[in-house]
């Protein structure tokens, strides 16, 4: 679906499908230059990263491998506790691999900060982050993100993998959810 199909649910379109596609092509060129001669392992963080992984990976012209993690934040009853539980671990060994974590969004940064620490102990040869979106105003911890799509305001955004109550992931654009939907 496009933003125009559900315009009553949205207030502002922040990034269009066309802008996302152009940005992913640009990031893919940078990644290919940086990893020339090396085979990358892309690690997607479920579920939000499904769209960015699918589109980014297809912009790459060489071979890559793909794996997935599923994590959930828990503890103290809030998502922002920074305590992360692995719901699905990687299938592959990271030892000696060039790993690029692929994320849809860096919000507080806590998920990625935890994942980076976790991956560092697994013997990867190199480790970097690609994130389509980042909310600088929401940051609780700094995350080194080498390949970034767009900085966006600290609003409730949906689309392109990002959900509200598991809906809107299939929206092709990234947009601010109208308050009447969740209040
Ligand atoms: C979202 C997103 C990131 C994380 C970012 O996932 O995909 O993984 O939150 O937030 P943070 O920077 O504050 O840690 P979510 O936990 O909503 O799960 P989902 O991808 O399955 O929707």
Q: Is 55 in the pocket of ligand 1 (CB under 6 A)?
A: no
- pLDDT tens for 104-124 read 999 999 999 999 999 999 999
Task: Decide if pLDDT at 59 tops 90.
Answer: yes
Task: Decide if pLDDT at 75 tops 60.
Answer: no
The edge-to-edge listing of strands for the beta sheet with 10-15 is 10-15, 174-177, 157-158
Q: Which residues fall within 8 angstroms of residue 104, CB to CB, at 6 or more apart?
A: 45, 48, 49, 51, 52, 131, 132, 133, 160, 161, 162
Mean pLDDT of the 41-64 span: 97
Q: What is the pTM of this model?
A: 0.95
Q: Is 113 in the pocket of ligand 1 (CB under 6 A)?
A: no
Q: Is 69 in the pocket of ligand 1 (CB under 6 A)?
A: no
Task: Decide if pLDDT at 6 tops 90.
Answer: yes
Q: What confidence tier does 81 reach under pLDDT thresholds 50, 70, 90?
A: low
Which of these is catalytic: 55, 107, 144, 163? 107
Phi/psi-derived region of residue 112, left when phi > 0, alpha when psi is between -120 and 50, beta in every other case: alpha
Task: Decide if pLDDT at 77 tops 80.
Answer: no
Reading the block at residue 85, the tokens are: 């539980």
Task: Decide if pLDDT at 168 tops 90.
Answer: yes
Mean pLDDT of the 93-106 span: 97
CA 106 to centroid of ligand 1, rounded, Å: 8
Q: Whose CA is nearest to atom 7 of ligand 1?
A: 48
The residue to mutate among 104, 143, 182, having the most atoms of ligand 1 within 8 angstroms of its beta carbon, is: 104
Which atom of ligand 1 lies nearest, measured to the CA of 138?
13
**CATH 3.40.50.2020: does it fit domain 17-152?**
yes
Residue of higher predicted confidence among 60 and 77: 60
Return mean pLDDT, the chain: 95
Q: Whose CA is nearest to atom 14 of ligand 1?
A: 111
Q: What is the pLDDT of residue 83?
A: 79
Q: Is 158 in the pocket of ligand 1 (CB under 6 A)?
A: no
Catalytic status, residue 107:
yes
Residue pair 173/3 in contact (Cβ under 8 Å)? The answer is yes
Task: Decide if pLDDT at 52 tops 60.
Answer: yes
């Amino acid at each position: 679906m496009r933003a125009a199909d559900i315009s009553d649910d949205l207030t502002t379109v922040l990034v269009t499908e066309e802008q996302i596609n152009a940005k992913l092509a640009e990031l893919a060129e940078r990644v290919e230059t940086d990893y020339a001669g090396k085979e990358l392992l892309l690690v997607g963080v479920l579920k939000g990263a499904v769209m960015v992984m699918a589109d980014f990976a297809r912009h790459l012209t060489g071979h890559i491998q793909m794996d997935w993690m599923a994590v959930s934040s828990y503890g103290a009853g809030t998502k922002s506790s920074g305590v992360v539980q692995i719901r699905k671990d990687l299938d592959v060994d990271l030892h000696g691999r060039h790993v690029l974590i692929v994320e849809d969004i860096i919000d507080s940064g806590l998920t990625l900060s935890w994942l980076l620490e976790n991956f560092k102990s697994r013997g990867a040869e190199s480790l970097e982050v690609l994130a389509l979106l980042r909310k600088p105003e929401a940051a609780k911890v700094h995350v080194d993100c080498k390949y970034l799509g767009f900085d966006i305001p600290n609003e409730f955004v949906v689309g392109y993998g990002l959900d509200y109550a598991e809906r809107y992931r299939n929206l092709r654009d990234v947009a601010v959810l109208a308050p009447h939907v969740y209040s």
